[in-house]
Amino acid sequence: MPVNAGYEYFAAQRKYQEARTLDEKIRALEELIKAAPGHKGAENVLAQLKTKLARLKAQKTAARKKSGGRVTTVPKTGAAQVCIVGFANAGKSELLRTLTGVGEPSPTPYATKTPRVGMMLYEDVQIQVVEIPSGMSSEFLSIAHNAELVIFLYDAAKTEDVERLMKIAEDENLENILWAANVISEKKAVGFAVNAASGDNVDELKRMVWQRLRLVRVYTKIAGKKAETRPLTLPKGSTVRDVARDVHKDFLKNFKFARVWGSAKFPGAQVGLDHVVRDKDIIELHVG
């Protein structure tokens, strides 16, 4: 950590640590480099950051080349995007249907030809779920690069598929992966298992998805009024500053203090911009 680094540097550093997709990482690293102090003592750190950035950019170019420049993106909605990746007939469409109500399972392998998108509700948080077609073309796998989390779903009776999926994870540089075996036949699964069709253990899967997304939700509120019922979601470790910025830039500019129910010392205690918020906090922003 460079000496005399300013607030922006630490904020950018946190953003980089929280970045989940390749694009997010590149963007955060660029900000981090911009915010790094210019003095001599920080030269080494800056050089390291630049090397890291060059490596990430090379990764991105390689991924693009592999797909012949064809990249499919699924516009993100909700708190995060989660992809389901797996081989033919692993039960991806069944899982998508169980999680979101969207999805047409079929006994025919490779039945899903294009990415299918649904919205899953975890408690009161909307999470987007995308089924990637089984062909595993680089074009469609490019969606997984931009997703915050990838579920690798495999038929519990075909453990050899795990190895094949591990190879894909490595080749595609996918990091945030949740492995799930789908118990289609009677075969007992090794590791975490669900039954996509009956929904067995799917609630546990949803809970794991939420955990792995490393998000917190907060409910903002205006003094004298009830808190919003729809939460705002932010990366874990976010502060009142991030909440204020997300609500409106004027809230940050004119910020005086916030009252917090949840993570504060006592319900409704006054906190400043640096207060780290926790999941399910109620945040009342006071501006002047």
Ligand X SMILES: Nc1nc2c(ncn2[C@@H]2O[C@H](COP(=O)(O)OP(=O)(O)OP(=O)(O)O)[C@@H](O)[C@H]2O)c(=O)[nH]1
3-state helix, strand, coil in the chain (%, to 5): 40, 20, 40
Query: Using CA atoms, how far apart are residues 253 and 247, in angstroms rounded to an integer?
Result: 12
Burial category of 287 from C-beta neighbours within 10 Å (exposed 0-12, middle 13-18, buried 19 and up): middle
Residues in the interface with Mg ion (CB under 5 A) total 3
Cα–Cα dist 216/283, whole Å: 13
| Residue 90: strand, helix, or coil | coil
Residue 151 interacts, among ligand X, Mg ion, none and using kind-specific CB cut-offs from 5 to 8 Å, with: none
Residue 77: both structure tokens together: 């909605």
184 binds, among Mg ion, ligand X, none (CB under 5 to 8 A by kind): ligand X
Selected from 13, 21, 89, 93, the binder of Mg ion by CB under 5 A is 93
**Any contact of residue 13 with Mg ion (CB under 5 A)?**
no
Distance (Å) of CA 154 to CA 103, 113, 144, 245: 17, 18, 16, 41
Nearest to 28 by CA among 40, 42, 11: 11
Among 2, 91, 118, 235, interactor with ligand X by CB under 6 A: 91
Q: Mark the segment that binds ligand X (CB under 6 A) among 65-73, 109-117, 215-223, 255-263.
A: 109-117
Site membership for ligand X, residue 102 (CB under 6 A)? no
Is 118 a binder of ligand X (CB under 6 A)? no
Burial of 221 (0-12, 13-18, 19+ CB in 10 A): middle
Question: Would you count residue 100 as binding ligand X (CB under 6 A)?
Answer: no
Residues in the chain: 288
From the list Mg ion, ligand X, none, pick the one residue 86 interacts with, judged by a Cβ distance below 5 to 8 Å according to partner type: ligand X
What residues from 104 to 163 belong to the interface with Mg ion (CB under 5 A)?
Answer: 112
Task: Please select the residue that binds ligand X; options are 6, 68, 109, 272, rule is CB under 6 A.
Answer: 109
- The residue count for binding ligand X (CB under 6 A) is 21
Stretch that binds Mg ion, among 48-56, 84-92, 155-163, 165-173 (CB under 5 A): 84-92
Q: At what angle do helices 138-146 and 160-172 cross, to 10 degrees?
A: 70
Residue 201 CA, chain-centre distance (Å), reads 21
In angstroms, rounded to a whole number, what is the distance separating the alpha carbons of residues 79 and 147? 11
Among 13, 21, 81, 89, binds ligand X (CB under 6 A): 89
Site for ligand X in 16-55 (CB under 6 A): none
For residues 105 and 231, which CB has a smaller minimum distance to ligand X in the complex? 105
Residue 132, contacted partner among Mg ion, ligand X, none, CB below 5-8 A by kind: none
Select the residue whose beta carbon is closest to ligand X and give its number.
91
Q: How far is the CB of 260 from ligand X (least distance, A)?
A: 43
**What are the tokens at 204?**
């546990």
Minimum CB separation of residue 92 from Mg ion in Å reads: 5
> Which residues contact ligand X (rule: CB under 6 A)?
86, 88-94, 105-107, 109-112, 134, 182, 184, 195-197
> Which residues contact Mg ion (rule: CB under 5 A)?
92-93, 112
